[in-house]
A = this chain, B = another copy of it.
Amino acid sequence: MAGKIVECVPNFSEGRKPEVMEAVVDSVQKTEGVKLLDWSHDVNHNRMVVTFIGSPEAVIEGAVNSSKKAVELIDLNHHTGEHPRIGAVDVIPFVPVSGITLEECAQLAYQCGKRIYQELKLPVYYYEAAAKTPNRKNLSNVRNIGYEKLKVEVKTPERYPDEGEPQLHPTAGAVVIGARPFLVAFNINLHCSDIKIAKAIANRVREARGGLKNVKALGMELKDRGMVQVSMNLVNCDETPIYRVIELVKAEAKRYGVTAAETEIVGLVPLKYLTETAIYYMQLEGFKTEQILDTRL
């Protein structure tokens, strides 16, 4: 657990042929120092997402190896699916987990992008924390044009790739590489069955409506439990920690006399976000991650 840990979550444009998906996953699993956490696919989107972690060097290796396999096996000229995409390996985000900053992950994105252009002749666009221009910060600005249109428009200066010549790979298109914070899926269930209240709280808590930065929130019904839920995506817990979200939801619930029944973290969470929450509630001063015995091995 010591040292720098990075998560990499590449998206590939194949969600139907098991032998192709397995070959791509296999190329990740065979990469030394990389731990495969998950992979899932969607037949309608014709798309696959692979999640793995490791040291900075290992995850770059895993990203390059799986991209190589995708370029070899996926031909975008024969690809159909509902999800917008521009490449066989479509998006590669690097995500800081431990001992590494978002800015360092942007540097990894550049290292990875340079290798992918040199070794696979895939043109590269950088997005989010790795974006070279403000209009490429948002992934959808770069990717939603789709492979077929980009084939032509890549020649216009505003669509020039950040790495490589303004010409797509004949079968594999282009790739969007970037760095973004870890996304935490976090829900708060309320002692209340009125969906209007959950929606009102969600609206006050989310960034889009004047709430907390980095918080996306929806009100949902948990019919089988007679409860409602504020269902959230926390897109940057370094800036906006989990405890602040909990406390604001509770404060907004108070005007209805509603209290929190329980919270849930769906899927994974980096240790640093959990530690920060413990530190807040315990009023813990001067605590360092290295004091956690388990991190010493």
Give residues in A with beta carbon < 8 Å to B. Answer: 1, 5, 7, 35, 37, 53-54, 97-98, 182, 189, 242-243, 246, 260-265, 267-271, 274-275, 277-278, 281-287, 291-297
Check A271–B294 contact: CB distance below 8 A.
Answer: yes
- Shortest CB–CB separation between residue A107 and chain B, in angstroms? 21
A293/B281 in contact, CB under 8 A: no
Contact B263 A282 (CB under 8 A): yes
- Oligomer: number of copies: 2
A293 is contacted by which of B53, B264, B286, B292 (Cβ under 8 Å)? B53
- Report the bound CA distance from A281 to B283 in whole Å: 12
> Within the complex, which residue of B5, B243, B262, B283 is in contact with A262, where a contact is CB–CB below 8 Å?
B283
Are B271 and A277 interface neighbours, CB within 8 A?
A: no
Do the beta carbons of A296 and B264 come within 8 Å of each other?
no
- From B5, B53, B260, B297, contact of A5 by CB (8 A): B297
Contact A292 B269 (CB under 8 A): yes
CB distance from A206 to the nearest CB of B (A): 20
Q: Are A263 and B291 in contact (CB under 8 A)?
A: no
Partner of A285, one of B98, B264, B294: B264
A265 & B294 in contact (Cβ 8 Å cutoff): no
| Cross-chain contact B292 with A270 (CB below 8 angstroms) | yes
Contacts of A5 in B (CB 8 A): 293-294, 297
Contact in complex: B274, A292 (CB < 8 Å): yes
Distance, CA A293 to CA B37, complexed state (A): 9
Q: Are B53 and A282 in contact (CB under 8 A)?
A: no
Among residues of B, the one whose C-beta sits closest to the C-beta of A281 is B281
In Å, the complex CA distance between A284 and B260 comes to 11
From A98, which residue of chain B is reached at the shortest CB distance? Answer: B294
Cα(A130)–Cα(B188), bound, Å: 43
Q: How far is the CB of A296 from chain B (nearest CB, A)?
A: 6
Chain B residues closer than 8 Å to A287, beta-carbon distance:
264-265
Known: A270-B294, A274-B275, A281-B282. 14 other contacts (CB 8 A): A5-B297, A7-B293, A35-B296, A37-B296, A53-B293, A97-B293, A98-B293, A98-B294, A267-B291, A269-B291, A269-B293, A270-B293, A271-B292, A274-B274
- The docked-state distance in angstroms from the alpha carbon of A293 to that of B267 is 9
Contact A265 B293 (CB under 8 A): no
